[in-house]
Structure 1
């Protein structure tokens, strides 16, 4: 059965996700401007009290996915803090200079958690990898729970054939979660290729100037209406 995961940035987003029947949330900060960064421990702790599985993104900066030793150290400590704060999963990713899975770094990060209690999702660093089927085998060997992917395309609709190939290659050994530019109308076709989960942010921008030192003139929040529509679209697919 295909489940729904929402990417949210605050406690309100986690509450909306729970109310519409999402299975879990990917919790992150600065999703719109950066693609997502590690949220604060306060947000992790508060969201974990909502009653939905919380999987924080562990990403220390924007940009590529090749991390320095200092950044890896930070990620390891963020993982431990997130789990201590109530997270039931983590969302991570790391690549080598030639855009293959950095199994050394991922093994270190995964080694920070009890795999019997904490799920591990590899994020869309996977979409930078050229040979995603080989990468899937490497992630399976590492004990990764699932991978988030658009099939290497800008959106899941454009990468649907590749997502289907990944589902077939995974053969139940690792979960394939589709994410990237998904709209409510896309959900039936994406679910039809057999993905284990559909991931979207259901975001809208709220106006609000931060002044000279406050950054942009607005901020993202979870749109409860879009979240409900996405959940309804997925439920409709399950009925057929």
Structure 2
């Protein structure tokens, strides 16, 4: 059966995950930016749900070409997350248009037996098949990918090719615009897992501006929609996919 990874960024989402029981949680903060490293307290709360937690380790928004200071933060945050009882870490880094293999090796060596997922920095690479082979050789557990497109549903043929190429060496997890409406189609590509945020929008009102990204007036943020998360889980439990 295709596994279900639920992206969560807040305490309300953790409460939903505790009820829905996805196969694992990807925990992050600032999901609207693609996600950054969550706080230790949020990580501890996630672990307390009893759902396996995979912590996103991303030191800033933007691209994935990191300098030495960024790399040191990634390794340190991965080490700290490992001490909080998580099941895995989620990382990514590029160097000269290729996988930052040295960063992957350092994190892999830091977190011991924990699983390591390479996130959608993978989709920025020109040779996805070659990068998949390289990451398998580096001991990465799985790759999160939209098949090189903005949305996974636009790249089903590529996802199928990657899943076939991966074999038993590494898992391919499809992410990017995954919903209950397309989960069955994506699972049918043979990927090992689907990654979804199953989000709904919450609107609040800000009396004053809190920065250029948050002007005064209506402010919106996303949290997990329980009905949508349940719907995705149920589609996958129904036997769609390989």
Q: Normalising to structure 2: TM-score of the pair? A: 0.93
Structure 1 residue 80, shift from structure 2 partner:
1.1
Is contact 2:199–2:224 with CA below 8 Å preserved after alignment? yes
Structure 1 residue 109, shift from structure 2 partner:
1.7
SS of the residue corresponding to residue 177 of structure 2 reads coil
Describe how 1:184-203 pairs up with structure 2 within 5 A: 184-203=180-199
Over the aligned positions, Cα root-mean-square deviation in angstroms equals: 1.5
Is contact 1:146–1:176 with CA below 8 Å preserved after alignment? yes
Structure 1 residue 237, shift from structure 2 partner:
3.0
SS of the residue corresponding to residue 207 of structure 1 reads strand
Structure-2 residue corresponding to 1:108: 106
2: CA distance, partners of 1:51 / 1:213: 38
Q: How many residues align?
A: 236
Structure 1 residue 62, shift from structure 2 partner:
0.8
SS of the residue corresponding to residue 195 of structure 2 reads strand
Is contact 1:191–1:237 with CA below 8 Å preserved after alignment? no
Is contact 1:11–1:50 with CA below 8 Å preserved after alignment? no
SS of the residue corresponding to residue 14 of structure 1 reads helix
Which string of whole-angstrom CA distances, capped at 9 and with x for unpartnered residues, describes residues 62-92 of structure 1? Answer: 1111101000111111111111122110000
Structure-1 residue corresponding to 2:43: 44
The runs of 5 or more residues in structure 2 that have no matched partner are: none
Q: Which of residues 144, 148, 171 in structure 1 aligns to 2:144?
A: 148
SS of the residue corresponding to residue 195 of structure 1 reads coil
SS of the residue corresponding to residue 48 of structure 1 reads helix
Structure-2 residue corresponding to 1:14: 14
Is contact 1:10–1:47 with CA below 8 Å preserved after alignment? no
C-alpha change, 1:239 and 1:140, in structure 2 (3 Å) is closer
Q: Normalising to structure 1: TM-score of the pair? A: 0.94
Is contact 1:140–1:173 with CA below 8 Å preserved after alignment? yes
Is contact 2:174–2:191 with CA below 8 Å preserved after alignment? yes
